[in-house]
Structure 1
Amino acid sequence: MRDNENKDLKTISLEISGMTCSGCSSHIEKDMNKTNGIVSSNVNHETGKGEFTFDTNKMGKEELINAVNSIGNYSVVNGIKKEDSFSSTSDTTISKESNKNKNQFDLIVIGGGSAAFSAAIKAEGLGLTTLMVNAGLEFGGTCVNVGCVPSKNLIRAAETAYHATHSNFKGIKPRGVDIDFKQIIKDKKELVSALQQQKYMDVVSDFENLTMLKGWAEFADKNTIIVNGKDKYSATNIVIATGATTNIPNIEGLNEVGYLTNVSLFDLEEKPISITIMGAGYIGLEIAQAYSRLGVKVRIIEFTDRPLRTQTSDITDVLVEQMKSEGIEILPNFRAFKFEKKGNDTIIHCNCPDGSTTQVIEKGHIVVATGTKPNTTKLGFENSDINLTKSGHILVNEKMETNVSNIYAAGDVTNTPPFVYTAATEGNTAVNNAFSLSKSSIDYSSLPWVVFTDPQIAGAGMDEIEAEAKGIPFEVSKLDLKHVPRALAAQDTRGFIKLIRNTETDKLIGARVIAPEGGELIQQLSMAIKFGITVKDLAESFYPYLTLGEGIKLAAITFGKDVSKLSCCAS
């Protein structure tokens, strides 16, 4: 039986105000096609008209017009006003101008970090009126204010101090270092302030269509937010980019004794005597090594069996050995269950690996680095029906779409990889897909990432555990740095390069590197994974001698040969 059999079909053309781009017409079509009785929709924002075919047994013209009027901020011209009842039959013209006001925008962006700014930049390029509403951290978000920029600045400062007291060469005797901790923090603050202005505020300073507000945004409905509990703003589409914050564990006494996070730690101008870091993920590890090298006694308490539990043990073994050699105390399989204050000391009650309990005394500060949680509370999601994951992240697909047709999300608030560069791509993608008929998707399969410890840990694609879980036929090549001429010349052979290939196609599907400045290798490996480069291609390419990159060639050769038996520059 044909689809249209037993249907009384009618097609009418309506003039629709409020459309500014192809995303608007796409939005109307998408919502109308979900409406009971609608057979097809064809909307053109350039002509301002929509053509709708509907089943007259299920709806009339009035219901059709009301259905259009119920979508976003659009109105049918010479139709029924949005404020009229469904029974109204009056013909009232609604002009585009009267439908717009100072609190109505094409796009609302909730948040003020990298994803939000990327979204705003894309929107400006499309000529969209945009409202950005930000609360919490200053505009610029985590990365520039309390994350990537300050942490890497302190890591580099600490590295300078470390090399002033340690040498890989017997013939070079370091004379030591004088550390002005207060000056280091002052310089860090100046850098953060400069980049926050230059890379964020100055970038949008001449935008003609962007309005920026400081305030807390809550959803009133899927098109409307209320800022600071009083002012309402509406938009055709909304992008949520509220980021994430430190996840504070619910442990007895923790709030009473006081604690620091990376937000407050990085602003301490007086060097702590010591710190105990709760958590051994990448944030905790970067903090630990940086502050240890700046002269702070550091202890790490980790409730799992080893630091950076997301990586294979061969990687973490190298890192643990290095950190212990620098005097950092690591307590794996220790779980804190109570904090209390005794004088100026903080007593941490812990369950030990053998089932007993112990007390750890911290004379300095407690630093919480137990992961992050998405900023999704108190946003009025009950008024927008947005789906969340079990961890509270906004559930999005590869197009950054939520389950609500006009609401998108980007950055650390979503269930996507939590990096500043992914957030920026996601913000751009969200706006593109919200206002364009040409949808784009994000592919994370070759995503590169780096942990800025020393040695650095970097990866792209999958590791051997992930390959096995997915049933992919694979083989692993692991090359210790003692076989890389650059590492031998520098007398620093800490770490290795590991490649994972698909044995059926010979294509590289994953890579892991732990090496001094190992992060500088990972982009090449990421590109090889993305574009289907084979291990044979990697092995047969030219690499400058005495570069760390040559290690990629040697690791590729290792699939078939013992490189320890090859001469320099061999292939």
Structure 2
Amino acid sequence: MNDDNTLHIAVIGSGGAAMAAALKAAERGARITLVERGTLGGTCVNTGCVPSKILIRAAHVTHLRRESPFDPGLSARAPIVDRAELCEQQQARVEELREAKYQRILRDHPAITVLDGEARFIDAQHLTVKLNEGGEQTVRFDRAFIGTGARPAEPPVPGLADTPYLTSTSALVLESVPKRLIVIGAGFVALELAQAFSRLGSRVTVLARSRLLSGEDPAVSDAVETALRREGIEMLNQTQASQVDYSDREFVLATNAGTLRADQLLVATGRTPNTETLNLAAIGVETAWGAILVDACLQTTVPGIYAAGDCTDQPGFVYVAAAGGSRAAVNMTGGEATLDLSAMPSVMFTDPQLATVGLTEVEALQQGFSVESRVLGMENVPRALVNFNTLGFIKMVAERDSGRLLGVQAVAGEAGELIQTAVMALRARMTVQDIGDELFPYLTMVEGLKLCAQTFTKDVTQLSCCAG
């Protein structure tokens, strides 16, 4: 420790994981030196969650003004989309949140010193920081936390690197809506942005290497694909680009489905951890494909050096990053905390949304469970009926003998708003009988969980509207 006996922690990064670690460690009495080479706030507020959800919401409103289930009784008129104006509104909110949740907090915190520059480990107790304003500074620390996040990955497609393709970062600040957009990728980010730009006016084609959402239950993939095709988005499964060229302001892709052309190309095939400049191998911090390996306590393979978030091998969600940073801080300051991801929710903000928690049926079987599952179509959920939007389903996976809930997958309008109830049910080790017996407010989407649970023992089509 330092001469004043105050534990000194170096925090690299300023996103969800790093901020949580810095604030929790300071709360527990540590002194913090936080190093950030770029913009404070990390991915979520600057180039991820916040701007993408604003874009998606604007696209949703655009879609409803053009087309809704109530058009027989409500006049509809296609809106004029001023993408530059929408982008300005979006970025103003980004800057407002960055100032309120990051810059002001760090500026006013007496225990946190911010260095603007790029950090590199010298050994397990020293960093050198190449300062943005020039020069270098050495930082000695008692513990270190790495929260450097990740960036969009660039797949090794011949010709791609020589073109001005879009990433999930640059697409969010695109000030015009392309007439034709090709999206390479079929995961959460790819599909969210594909639908958003389609609703704003682009003719969108999605290239999936295998199928949409290949890591999800096939029923989930099918339901989402049906919804997106219904909106006019072209889906090309089992399709890969073998060459990308750009000339005369047009992208030309050679694929196994033929030659494709577009005004813009969005590449959303995953993310690459920002770890290559940290000198990790030299000090013994192990990585896999650039991702830092951490244990249940968020410690790396070097004692005293911790990490969390997208730069690690943990799931790439900001709430996982923040939870990991907070728990790492407890461990760095003498406490004991672990990160339990057994009931981790995920949400894809397409329309309908996809929300999941726990095990799929296949995963449960692979883990040796004897399982029973039920699928409830949204036409059985009163909220969906009165919304005149019954696309999708809720699926519950339970242990056969005990009835204990093991997992939930939902494709539905506002599915993200119901999944946390399933998270709490998993945490409480509730059975489907317990869930079916609970009181749920009528005409809410979350009531679908109760109805799905009831299908394990009864025919819900034979129940009155709000039968308990």
TM category (shorter chain) comes to: over 0.9
1:450 maps to what in 2? 347
Q: How does 1:175-254 map to 2 (within 5 A)?
A: 175-228=77-130, 230-254=136-160
Query: What secondary structure is seen at the aligned counterpart in 1 of 2:62?
Result: helix
Matched, 1:361 2:282: no
2:409 maps to what in 1? 512
2:449 maps to what in 1? 552
Matched, 1:163 2:64: yes
Separation in structure 2 between the aligned mates of residue 555 and residue 133 of structure 1, nearest angstrom: 48
Larger Rg: 1
Q: What TM-score do you get using the length of structure 1 for normalisation?
A: 0.79
Question: Deviation at 1:176?
Answer: 2.5
Contact 1:185 1:268 in 2 (8 A): yes
Q: How does 1:299-338 map to 2 (within 5 A)?
A: 299-304=205-210, 306-338=211-243
Question: Deviation at 1:224?
Answer: 0.8
Contact 1:121 1:204 in 2 (8 A): no
Deviations 1:358-390 (A, max 9, x none): 21112x11111011111111211132101112x
Contact 1:539 1:556 in 2 (8 A): yes
Counterpart code for 1:328: I
Counterpart code for 1:346: F
Match of 1:268 among 160, 170, 174: 174
Please report the RMSD computed on the Cα atoms of aligned residues, expressed in angstroms: 1.5
Question: Deviation at 1:105?
Answer: 6.8
Contact 1:276 1:301 in 2 (8 A): yes
Question: Deviation at 1:226?
Answer: 1.0
Contact 1:246 1:371 in 2 (8 A): yes
Counterpart code for 1:282: F
Question: Deviation at 1:174?
Answer: 1.4
Counterpart code for 2:186: A
Counterpart code for 2:255: C
Contact 1:456 1:517 in 2 (8 A): yes
Counterpart code for 1:559: F
Counterpart code for 1:314: A
Counterpart code for 1:418: G
Contact 2:106 2:114 in 1 (8 A): no
Deviations 1:489-510 (A, max 9, x none): 1111011111111123221111
Deviations 1:196-216 (A, max 9, x none): 111111223221121111211
1:395 maps to what in 2? 293
Separation in structure 2 between the aligned mates of residue 119 and residue 240 of structure 1, nearest angstrom: 9
Question: Deviation at 1:277?
Answer: 1.0
Separation in structure 2 between the aligned mates of residue 257 and residue 418 of structure 1, nearest angstrom: 27
Counterpart code for 1:122: K
2:36 maps to what in 1? 134
Query: What secondary structure is seen at the aligned counterpart in 2 of 1:411?
Result: coil
Q: Quick one: structure 1 residues 566 and 342, their matched pair in 2 at CA, closer, same or farther if it must change by over 3 Å?
A: same
Separation in structure 1 between the aligned mates of residue 250 and residue 84 of structure 2, nearest angstrom: 24
Query: What secondary structure is seen at the aligned counterpart in 2 of 1:315?
Result: helix
Aligned residues: 463
Separation in structure 2 between the aligned mates of residue 257 and residue 290 of structure 1, nearest angstrom: 23
Query: What secondary structure is seen at the aligned counterpart in 1 of 2:467?
Result: coil
Matched, 1:498 2:403: no
Separation in structure 2 between the aligned mates of residue 210 and residue 312 of structure 1, nearest angstrom: 45
Matched, 1:373 2:272: yes
Question: Deviation at 1:319?
Answer: 1.2
Separation in structure 2 between the aligned mates of residue 491 and residue 284 of structure 1, nearest angstrom: 27
Deviations 1:97-128 (A, max 9, x none): 6xx9xxx9710001111111111111221221
Separation in structure 2 between the aligned mates of residue 343 and residue 446 of structure 1, nearest angstrom: 50
Counterpart code for 2:330: N
Matched, 1:523 2:420: yes
Query: What secondary structure is seen at the aligned counterpart in 2 of 1:153?
Result: helix
Counterpart code for 1:509: L
Contact 1:105 1:234 in 2 (8 A): no
Separation in structure 2 between the aligned mates of residue 349 and residue 459 of structure 1, nearest angstrom: 35
Higher mean C-alpha displacement, 228-237 vs 238-247: 228-237
Query: What secondary structure is seen at the aligned counterpart in 1 of 2:66?
Result: coil
Contact 2:7 2:29 in 1 (8 A): no
Question: Deviation at 1:244?
Answer: 0.8
Matched, 1:287 2:193: yes
Counterpart code for 2:312: T
Higher relative contact order (CA 8 A, sep 6+): 2
Contact 2:374 2:397 in 1 (8 A): yes
1:60 maps to what in 2? none
Query: What secondary structure is seen at the aligned counterpart in 2 of 1:412?
Result: coil
2:303 maps to what in 1? 405
Question: Deviation at 1:423?
Answer: 0.7
2:54 maps to what in 1? 153
Question: Deviation at 1:429?
Answer: 0.7
Matched, 1:349 2:247: no
1:29 maps to what in 2? none
Query: What secondary structure is seen at the aligned counterpart in 2 of 1:290?
Result: helix
Query: What secondary structure is seen at the aligned counterpart in 1 of 2:14?
Result: coil
Contact 1:222 1:383 in 2 (8 A): no
Contact 2:253 2:260 in 1 (8 A): yes
Contact 1:167 1:173 in 2 (8 A): no
- Structure 2: 5+ residue runs without aligned partners? none
Separation in structure 2 between the aligned mates of residue 382 and residue 467 of structure 1, nearest angstrom: 36
Separation in structure 2 between the aligned mates of residue 401 and residue 175 of structure 1, nearest angstrom: 56
Q: Quick one: structure 1 residues 526 and 142, their matched pair in 2 at CA, closer, same or farther if it must change by over 3 Å?
A: same
Separation in structure 2 between the aligned mates of residue 126 and residue 344 of structure 1, nearest angstrom: 55
1:384 maps to what in 2? 283
Separation in structure 2 between the aligned mates of residue 415 and residue 517 of structure 1, nearest angstrom: 29
Separation in structure 1 between the aligned mates of residue 166 and residue 236 of structure 2, nearest angstrom: 19
Q: Quick one: structure 1 residues 368 and 252, their matched pair in 2 at CA, closer, same or farther if it must change by over 3 Å?
A: same
Contact 1:260 1:367 in 2 (8 A): yes
Higher mean C-alpha displacement, 167-176 vs 470-479: 167-176
Q: What TM-score do you get using the length of structure 2 for normalisation?
A: 0.96
Question: Deviation at 1:566?
Answer: 2.1
- Structure 1: 5+ residue runs without aligned partners? 1-17, 19-72, 74-95, 353-357
Query: What secondary structure is seen at the aligned counterpart in 2 of 1:399?
Result: coil
Question: Deviation at 1:401?
Answer: 1.0
Separation in structure 2 between the aligned mates of residue 183 and residue 258 of structure 1, nearest angstrom: 23
1:298 maps to what in 2? 204
Contact 2:146 2:307 in 1 (8 A): yes
